[in-house]
């Protein structure tokens, strides 16, 4: 069983996102795991994060201002894998930093560091050749995004070559701002689950345990990002205990939703 499979078979999972190099990354990652996060998404900072709202944009810039390099991110990932052998780790970011040295190089580094999956915001299925084949050859899952604009005609293409889990971006927009209506999330998850065996995780605009619990009733996972990043923005290098406490409230809500449903 892959790390993703074990993480999602336990019931609805908390997928937690932070930006690499923003604050004390190792301590923050440990705090997310200690608080009960089931899957970790580590954001690769980029100068031009055009799918991100203000919170994650600023996290990208804070990280780059500190001089974070791609080598640093792979070192953080490898160290995470040593400390947490079972928690799935995803790198999330933009195409240019992932492909600048060639997709084979990137895929090999992911495999070497123990990265389980990659989410690339600006490589849709039409441009899969840019990254997908190299990742799959290296045994790293390419996690695809589905959105409210992904219609039935497109969905098979989006799912073709996808692995790990399917990330449902519940609002047409950027990270961290609006929240989708619960009914539209339920409809979408039902539609997606009919089309794939991959677990479906729902994200964008999820900030509170209440929202997370509601989504966890219908989805296999709930992705939270900007709310964690806001805590790091507020507490800087000392964010870990605050992250852990907040993670616990989300994890309890999500994992509890499973028990009620069961």
Partner 1 sequence: MNNRSNSLRTGPDERGHFGQFGGRYVAETLMPLILDLEREYRAAQADNEFRAEFEHLLKHYVGRPSPLWLAERLTEELGGAKIYLKREDLNHTGAHKINNCIGQILLAKRMGKTKIIAETGAGQHGVATATVAALFGLPCTIFMGAVDVARQQPNVFRMKLLGAEVVAVESGARTLKDAMNEALRHWVANVHDTFYIIGTVAGPHPYPELVRDFQSVIGEEARAQILEAEGRLPDMLIAPVGGGSNAIGLFHPFLDDEGVEIVGVEAAGEGLDGKHAASLAGGKPGILHGNKTYLLQDEDGQITEAHSISAGLDYPGIGPEHSWLHDIGRVRYEPVTDAEALASFQKLTKLEGIIPALESAHAIAAAERIAPTLGKDKIIIVNCSGRGDKDIFTVAEALGVKL
Residues that bind partner 1 (CB under 8 A): 46-53, 57, 61, 64, 69-70, 94-100, 121-124, 126-127, 130, 144-151, 154, 158, 169, 171-174, 177-178
CB atoms < 10 A from the CB of 22, how many?
27
Residue 75 Cβ vs partner 1, minimum distance, rounded to whole Å? 14
Report the alpha-carbon distance of residue 80 to residue 231 in Å, rounded.
21
Closer to partner 1 by Cβ: residue 95 or 195:
95
Closer to partner 1 by Cβ: residue 94 or 165:
94
Residue 252 Cβ vs partner 1, minimum distance, rounded to whole Å? 31
Closer to partner 1 by Cβ: residue 36 or 205:
205
Residue 123 Cβ vs partner 1, minimum distance, rounded to whole Å? 6
Residue 28 Cβ vs partner 1, minimum distance, rounded to whole Å? 21
Marked catalytic residue, from 41, 116, 128, 230 = 41
| Sign of the torsion angle spanned by Cα atoms 88, 113, 32, 228 | negative
Task: Say if residues 166 and 196 touch (Cβ distance below 8 Å).
Answer: yes
Closer to partner 1 by Cβ: residue 3 or 58:
58
H helices of the chain, in order, are: 3-9, 25-35, 54-65, 70-83, 95-99, 103-113, 132-137, 155-159, 182-195, 209-216, 226-235, 240-261
Marked catalytic residue, from 52, 109, 116, 220 = 52
Q: Is 109 a catalytic residue?
A: no
Which pair of tokens denotes residue 202?
């729902």
Report the alpha-carbon distance of residue 114 to residue 96 in Å, rounded.
21
Residue 141 Cβ vs partner 1, minimum distance, rounded to whole Å? 17
22 membership: H or E segment, kind and range? none
Closer to partner 1 by Cβ: residue 151 or 210:
151
Report the alpha-carbon distance of residue 40 to residue 80 in Å, rounded.
10
How many angstroms separate the Cα of 227 from the Cα of each of 23, 36, 186, 254?
A: 15, 16, 22, 16
Q: Is 230 a catalytic residue?
A: no
Which pair of tokens denotes residue 76?
């953080």
What amino acid positions are annotated as catalytic residues?
Answer: 41, 52
């Amino acid at each position: 069983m892959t790390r993703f499979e074990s993480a999602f078979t336990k019931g609805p999972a908390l997928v937690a996102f932070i930006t690499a190099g923003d604050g004390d990354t190792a301590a923050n990652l440990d705090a997310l795991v200690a608080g009960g996060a089931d899957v970790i998404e580590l954001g690769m900072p980029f100068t031009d994060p055009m799918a991100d709202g203000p919170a994650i944009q600023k996290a990208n810039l804070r990280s780059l201002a500190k001089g974070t390099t791609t080598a640093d991110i792979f070192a953080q990932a490898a160290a995470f894998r040593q400390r947490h052998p079972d928690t799935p780790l995803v790198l999330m970011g933009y195409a240019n930093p992932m492909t600048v040295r060639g997709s084979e190089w990137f895929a090999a580094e992911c495999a070497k560091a123990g990265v389980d999956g990659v989410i690339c915001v600006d490589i849709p299925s039409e441009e899969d050749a840019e990254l997908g084949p190299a990742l799959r050859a290296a045994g790293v899952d390419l996690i695809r995004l589905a959105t409210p604009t992904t219609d039935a005609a497109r969905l098979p293409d989006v799912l073709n070559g996808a692995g790990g889990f399917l990330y449902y971006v519940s609002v047409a927009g950027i990270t961290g701002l609006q929240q989708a209506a619960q009914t539209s999330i339920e409809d979408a998850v039902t539609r997606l689950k009919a089309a794939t065996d991959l677990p479906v995780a729902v994200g964008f605009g999820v900030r509170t345990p209440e929202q997370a619990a509601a989504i966890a009733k219908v989805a296999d996972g709930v992705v939270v990002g900007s709310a964690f990043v806001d805590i790091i923005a507020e507490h800087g290098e000392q964010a870990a205990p605050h992250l852990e406490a907040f993670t616990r409230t989300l994890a309890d809500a999500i994992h509890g939703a499973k028990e009620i449903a069961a």
